[in-house]
Every structure is written in structure tokens, then in C-alpha cells.
Amino acid sequence: MNELKKHIKESEVVSTIFVRWFLLASISGVAVGVVISFFLKSLQWATTTRESNEWLLYMLPLGGAFVSYLYSKYGKDSSKGNNLIIERINNGEGRIPFRMAPLVFLGTFITHLFGGSAGREGTGVQIGASVSSKIGELLKLKGMDYTILIISGVSSGFGVVFGTPIAGTVFGLEVSTLGKMRYEAIIPCLISSYIGNFIADLFKIHHTHYNMGISISGVDVFFKVILCAVLFGLTSKLFAELTHTLKKFFANKIPNTSLKSFIGGIIIIIIVLILGTRIYLGLSLDLLSNAFNQPVPKGAFIIKLLLTSLTLAVGFQGGEVTPLFVIGATLGNLLASIVGLPIEFLAGLGMIGVFAGATKTPIASFIMGIELFGSANIGFIFIACVVSYVFAGKSGIYTSQDSSILNGYFNKLKHE
């Protein structure tokens, strides 16, 4: 009888907690969904406007200087972007400034309007975290409750940007600490991510889903995928290290942030004029789509990598994930002709594999692959994510990720 009462009491507590977090996460998901839907609509307009008015590219230096000025004048810690959010989650104290949302929104819009090579995931995550943080402040949440609401904002922000609510859920749980999932936030992340996506559907936000083709199998395919996944991981490492190195280089050589962005914008314009094409500007979604259907320029992946690293290093705003998709898909496109596998198959694996290595989120990447491509090649998607993650080493685009668990493990191995 006492055991029965114990279970009933436990069920009541769980039900109360579930209802509480369902309401809190729903509020967060609705708010984040509305803001990011507007953000995605604005990026569509910015891209269409830039493509219809080629002269806008020449405004890139001024646009970058203006955004950097705003960050230096009003941004404070907001300039740390996703790393500030990860630090807040790991430390369990401090606040995410609400100013981060409008600053990164405007900064990313300007970057895309004038032709910087950047993504949108970073912006989505920052909007999600800062909006959820503000909600937490208004509701007077403290401690772990406040942290969990921020994590749910990360999940909904990521999930809404790509239309992948399950991957968004796991991304929020996985991204802050390497080797550990924040399972205490699983229900809020799930609810917030799904509610945010429901809101995006109401705003008729369109997400492109790519086709990896039919399921293929074979021992030879297994080893070829492992080989390609190693290259995906090394490419992830190259992107992360180059971006960090260029950031340090420009920060040391040009301390004035506005001047740094202005000069960086000029360098990007010169590179684009030398290349004689604009397919690498902005999100490069046309290049991404082509990578699944036809051979693309052999050097496409390295050009997109260099331009994105440069764009982010000199202070332009945006994310890394969509450029990582393009880098991975175009690399897979190149490798397909070398190893003798279908273009669309390796483009899909490259798209997900490079993302997994750079963000250090192999499980979220794997789930995103299933949400985007279906389960026909689920085994090879998993191999690509895991192997790429391993060969990317300690390098990642988020420098604030807590790697103490993995570092302790590797240090133990060294002494055995």
C-alpha cells in the first residue's frame, strides 16, 4: 500500500512538472516561432533583392562597418554570439541580453542583403535564446528553471530555421557539453521546438528538403563512406581552425571593428570579381541544390569555405551551418566522381557530415539527416556523422563548448 502511494505521489509530481513546462515551453516556442518566421521571411526578401540588384554587393563594406559599429556601441557581450549562450548554459548563472536578438537580426539581414557569405543558424539560436531569456526574466524564473528555458529557446531557434523539430530538440540538449546530453531539458526542448515549427507553418515558411536517392548497400560502399567521412571531418576541422585563425589575425591587425569589417567587405568584393560569379554569396542555396543534381565546380567547397570564414572573421553576422551544408554537399559532389558513388548520395552525406564535425553534435546531425533525407540510407548517414565528428578532433565552431569530459577521457588514455 505504501509503495502504491509512493508511485501515485511520483506520478502527480511528474504530471505537475510536465504541465508547468508544457506551458512555459509553449510560450517560448510561440514567441521564438513568430520572431524567426519574420526573420526567415526577411532573409528571403534580402536574397531576392540582392540578386535583382547586383550593385548592392558594393555596399557590403559600409554595411559591415555599420553593423560592427552597432555592436561596439550597444552590443557589449552580444558580440560573442552563440558562445555567450553556451557559456551561460554551462555556468548556470548570468543573463542573455535581450539586445542580442535585434542586433543579430539586423546584422544578419544586412550581411545577406549586401552579399556576405554566411548562414542563419547562429542567428536563429541567438534569437531563440535571448527571447526565451527575456520570457524567463518576466516570469521571474531562477536557477535551473531559467537555464532550461534558455536551452529550449536554442532548440526552437535551431529547429524553426531548418524545419527540423526533432534535430532542434537534440541540438539544444547536445551542443553545450561534449559527451553529455542535458536530459533535464528534454521535454521543454521538445515542446518548444515543435510549437515553434507549428508557428512557422502558419506563416507558410518553406524549407527545402533534398533527395539522396534510393537506398544503396554493399561492403565497398561501407568503406568508401568511411573514407569520405574522414575527409568530411578534416574539412570541418579546416573550416573551424581557419575561421578562428582569421578572427585572431584581423582582430590583432585591425583593432577598430568597423574598419575591420569595411576592409573585409572590400576583400570579399575583390574575390567575387576575380571569381566572376556570385553563386558563393549569401546562403548559396542554388549551389547547394545543384550539388545534388549535377557536377559543380571542383573547387566550390574550398571557395565557399574561404569566403564564409572570411565573412565571419571580419565581423559580419550570420550562422555557419548553411554554409557548412554547402561546403559538405559540394565536397561530396566532387568525391562522388572519384569513388564512384551517386552524386546525390554523397552530397547528402557530405552536407550532414561536415555539419556534424564542425558543430560537435553528431546525434543532432544524424537526426537532421533523417528529417531532411528520410531513412533510406540511415546507416550511412550515421557513419558519416560519427566518423566526421571523430576526425574533426577538438576543433569546432563553438569555442565555449565544455569539452572537459572528453578531455579527461583522452588524457586517461594517454597515461594508460
DSSP labels, 232-284: HHHHHHHHHHHHHHHHHHHHHH---HHHHHHHHHHHHHHHHHHHT--TTSTT-
Local confidence band at 414 (pLDDT 50, 70, 90 cut-offs): low
Are 2-202 and 219-391 in the same CATH fold? yes
Domain boundaries in the chain? 2-202, 219-391
Fold for 2-202, please state it: Clc chloride channel (1.10.3080)
- pLDDT at residue 159, rounded to an integer: 94
Q: What are 344-369's pLDDT values in tens digits?
A: 999 999 999 999 999 999 999 999 99
What confidence tens digit (pLDDT) does each residue in 211-238 have? 898 888 899 999 999 999 999 999 999 9
Q: Cα 398–128–357 angle (5° rounding)? A: 30
pLDDT given for residue 249 in this prediction:
96
Residue 205 has pLDDT above 80, yes or no: yes
Determine the topology of domain 219-391 in CATH.
Answer: Clc chloride channel (1.10.3080)
Phi, psi (degrees; rounded to nearest 5) at 49? -65, -45
**pLDDT, tens digit, for every residue of 243-299?**
999 999 999 999 999 999 999 999 999 999 999 999 999 999 999 999 999 999 999
Higher-confidence residue: 95 or 311?
Answer: 311
pTM of structure: 0.93
Measured CA to CA, the distance from residue 129 to residue 32 in angstroms comes to 9
Give the closest residue to 41 by CA, choosing from 205, 161, 158, 194.
Answer: 205
Judge whether 237 and 395 are in contact, CB under 8 Å. Answer: yes
pLDDT value at position 387? 97
The pLDDT, as a whole number, for residue 411 is 61
- pLDDT for 1 beyond 70: no
